């Protein structure tokens, strides 16, 4: 069975009859399960031997799937990088593997996921003549009854997941751009599934990146034009293209190159850098552009302006209306971080940082001269802020509310290094989380914070409270307990924070104190339970800090909280690589909020206080 295929479009398909799915870069796969399990590629090739983790998951859950057999389900086999993006390179490597040992190792250490988006046969019923929406609803019901994930989740070990649809293009497109996904597939609500057909009822709209470059050569055998940019005054080849050129454009470009050639051999016509063009492509893979398309001629550009630095900047997909001033300005010395590198950090970390800034009244610390000069706090939004920067008045202060990428990058251009947020959103009547700030007297005393954190973790585990931990990025550690919105007061949470603080002091009075006066603390760690209050703030997860080492308030896995932990493990140049390597330790933070079993703990503490 060959799959139905979408057609490429460069125009956003919008209207009431269009529904949208995130497009993932993987292997198209149809799952058949009758007497045997089979997973076939779009060309009918078997895939289960290459991806034994999918077979193992299906067989281990046969009892769940049996009531729905036989079925045929359409989907995409992917290596999920995040909820909106699959890693093209990783799935390609898996697809080329032939060693059973290496395949088994990768299946165990880096399993792929099967994202299913269409039901062709279910319980033996042929659904291909049903319209798209009814097929989608049947598939959704199947996933709900099986207890399988209803959306892609790279950390979920349930390897078969549902790929949902969305009604609103703009909201899901913003997520795709934010997470650097491949694009969107728009599907007409009433379409029927047509085997092997490339249809205009399914349209793929891609998240292109753009590059300004110049033409260097023409290949006679296939008609491809070669493009390059300057790197240190040398020409660096970025790939070749042919698609996107109209016949008259291709003819004119070829003739211009022929008339101005500097050399010619049996394979190529060569020219000096002179003709500038803008290309669009998906990403860089093996040092070449993937799916390059001609976009337009750039007669306004000179070849000297087409540089590797600009190429790298354009890869980051920064919003077009964000201007980065003085990109080469040094901000940190060791490690060396220039302004543009800091902006890139904010762009890359934004999917993980923005959820914690969302709907919070923001206080930033700006470093107009980088780490080399004096910083200042900023609460009020400056009058020169662009119109897209949202604000909220509170107690006479016009706070910035950073809900989207453009605002974050604008703040970055203003050299806002630190992002401090209150313990509640502006829509909450009480705290959105409890945070313990474990602040040792010096950096050298970090082991005290580690000791306190592990003692607190023991109590939290005993109370069945789910907790998360991060570095402060400066001296200490911070423990988070997510709470459901509009459920508890600060008076409620103070009962708990004071209880934990008193417990720590009772366990080890030589190490911990609740003494407010610094001069009376000595070398002990101050457990500041009073700081968790309305109007107080804490450094946001993934925010940079104004330290000379360019450290970050980095989320941790609890197993990382040990004697090997140091602040300089988490610096701006390496933080995003860390996420790509081991994932986001705060990934499930917001899911936990509604499941948190805090009420029984609070009821116990209230009863205990009443009996004193």
For residue range 240-255, what is the model confidence (pLDDT) as tens digits? Answer: 999 999 999 999 999 9
From 552, 430, 543, 567, select the one nearest 486 (Cα to Cα): 430
The CATH homologous superfamily for domain 209-315 is Nucleic acid-binding proteins (2.40.50.140)
d(CA 71, CA 57): 16
From 306, 296, 290, select the one nearest 212 (Cα to Cα): 306
Angle (CA) 24 28 33, round 5°: 125
Task: Provide mean pLDDT across the span 443-451.
Answer: 95
Is residue 316 among the annotated active site residues? Answer: no
With cut-offs at 50, 70 and 90, classify the pLDDT of residue 156. confident
With cut-offs at 50, 70 and 90, classify the pLDDT of residue 518. confident
Task: Give pLDDT, residue 345.
Answer: 95
Task: Give pLDDT, residue 1.
Answer: 78
d(CA 132, CA 128): 9
Angle (CA) 435 439 444, round 5°: 145
Task: Give pLDDT, residue 425.
Answer: 97
Strand 198-206 to strand 5-8: parallel, antiparallel, or no bridges (unpaired)? parallel
Q: Is pLDDT at 612 greater than 70 in this prediction? A: no
From 204, 209, 188, 78, select the one nearest 135 (Cα to Cα): 188
Q: Which of 23, 451, 470, 475 is catalytic?
A: 23
Give me the torsion for CA of 219, 220, 222, 227, rounded to 10°: 20
Q: Is pLDDT at 155 greater than 70 in this prediction? A: yes
Task: Give pLDDT, residue 286.
Answer: 80
Task: Provide mean pLDDT across the span 583-595.
Answer: 90
Boundaries of CATH 3.30.70.3300 in the chain? 433-541+586-601
- State percent of the chain over pLDDT 90: 82
Choices 3.30.70.3300, 3.10.20.30, 3.40.50.2300, 3.40.47.10: CATH for 433-541+586-601: 3.30.70.3300
Task: Provide mean pLDDT across the span 210-238.
Answer: 95
For domain 5-205, the CATH class is: alpha beta
For residue range 105-125, what is the model confidence (pLDDT) as tens digits? Answer: 989 888 999 999 999 999 999
Q: What is the mean pLDDT of the chain?
A: 93
**What's the pTM value of the predicted model, to 2 decimals?**
0.78
For residue range 31-84, what is the model confidence (pLDDT) as tens digits? Answer: 999 999 999 999 999 999 999 999 999 999 999 999 999 999 999 999 998 899
Token pair listed for 491? 């008076």
Token pair listed for 611? 């009996």
d(CA 193, CA 499): 60
d(CA 490, CA 532): 8
Angle (CA) 63 65 70, round 5°: 125
Q: What is the 3-state secondary structure (H, E, C) of 446-514?
A: HHHHHHHHHHHHHHHHHCCCCCEEEECCCCCEEEEEECCCCCCCHHHHHHHHHHHHHHHHHHCCCCEEC
């Amino acid at each position: 069975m060959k799959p139905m295929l979408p057609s490429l479009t460069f125009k956003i398909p919008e209207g009431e009859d269009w529904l949208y799915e995130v497009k993932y870069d993987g292997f198209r796969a149809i799952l058949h399960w009758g007497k045997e399990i089979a997973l076939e590629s779009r060309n009918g090739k078997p895939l289960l031997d290459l991806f034994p983790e999918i077979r193992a998951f299906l067989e281990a859950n046969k009892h769940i799937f049996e009531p729905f057999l036989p079925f045929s389900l359409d989907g995409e086999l992917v290596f999920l990088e995040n909820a909106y993006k699959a890693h093209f390179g990783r799935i390609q490597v898996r697809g080329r593997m032939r060693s059973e040992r290496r395949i088994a190792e990768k299946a165990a250490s880096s399993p792929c996921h099967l994202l299913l988006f269409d039901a062709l046969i279910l319980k033996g019923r042929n659904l291909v003549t049903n319209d798209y929406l009814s097929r989608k609803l049947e598939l959704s019901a199947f996933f709900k009854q099986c207890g399988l994930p209803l959306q892609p989740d790279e950390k979920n070990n349930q390897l078969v997941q549902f790929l949902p649809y969305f009604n609103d293009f703009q909201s899901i497109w913003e997520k795709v751009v934010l997470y650097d996904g491949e694009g969107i597939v728009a599907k007409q609500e009433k379409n029927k599934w047509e085997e092997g057909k490339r249809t205009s009822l399914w349209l793929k709209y891609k998240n292109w990146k753009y590059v300004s470059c110049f033409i260097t050569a023409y290949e006679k055998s296939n008609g491809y034009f070669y493009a390059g940019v300057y790197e240190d005054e040398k020409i660096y080849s970025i790939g070749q293209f042919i698609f996107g050129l109209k016949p008259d454009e291709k003819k004119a470009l070829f003739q211009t190159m022929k008339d101005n050639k500097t050399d010619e051999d049996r394979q190529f016509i060569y020219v000096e850098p002179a003709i500038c063009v803008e290309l669009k492509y998906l990403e860089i893979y093996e040092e070449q552009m993937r799916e390059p398309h001609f976009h337009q001629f750039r007669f306004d550009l000179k070849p000297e302006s087409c540089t590797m630095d600009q190429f790298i900047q354009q890869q980051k997909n920064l919003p077009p209306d964000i201007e980065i001033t003085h990109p080469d300005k040094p901000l940190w010395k060791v490690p060396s971080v220039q302004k543009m590198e800091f902006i890139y950090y904010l762009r890359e970390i934004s999917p993980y940082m923005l959820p914690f800034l969302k709907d919070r009244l923001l206080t930033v610390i700006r470093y107009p001269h980088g780490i080399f000069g004096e910083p200042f706090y900023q609460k009020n939004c400056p009058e020169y802020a662009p119109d897209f920067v949202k604000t909220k008045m509170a107690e006479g202060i016009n706070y910035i509310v950073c809900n989207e990428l453009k605002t974050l990058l604008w703040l970055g251009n203003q050299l806002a290094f630190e992002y401090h947020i209150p313990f509640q959103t502006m829509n909450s009547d009480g705290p959105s989380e409890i945070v313990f700030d474990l602040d040792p007297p010096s950096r050298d005393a970090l082991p005290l914070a580690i000791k306190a954190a592990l003692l607190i973790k023991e109590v939290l585990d005993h109370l069945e409270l789910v907790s998360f931990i991060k570095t402060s990025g400066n001296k200490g550690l911070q423990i988070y307990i997510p709470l459901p919105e509009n459920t508890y007061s600060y008076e409620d949470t103070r009962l708990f924070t004071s209880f934990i603080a008193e417990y720590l002091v009772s366990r080890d009075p030589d190490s911990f104190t609740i003494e407010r006066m610094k001069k009376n603390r000595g070398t002990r760690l101050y457990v500041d339970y009073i700081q968790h209050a309305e109007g107080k703030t804490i450094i946001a997860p993934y925010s940079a800090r104004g330290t000379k080492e360019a450290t970050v308030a980095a989320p941790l896995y609890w197993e990382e909280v040990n004697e090997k932990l140091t602040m300089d493990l988490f610096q701006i140049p390496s933080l995003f690589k860390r996420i790509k390597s081991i994932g986001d330790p705060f990934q499930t933070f917001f899911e936990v909020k509604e499941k948190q079993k805090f009420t029984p703990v609070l009821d116990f503490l209230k009863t205990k206080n009443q009996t004193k």
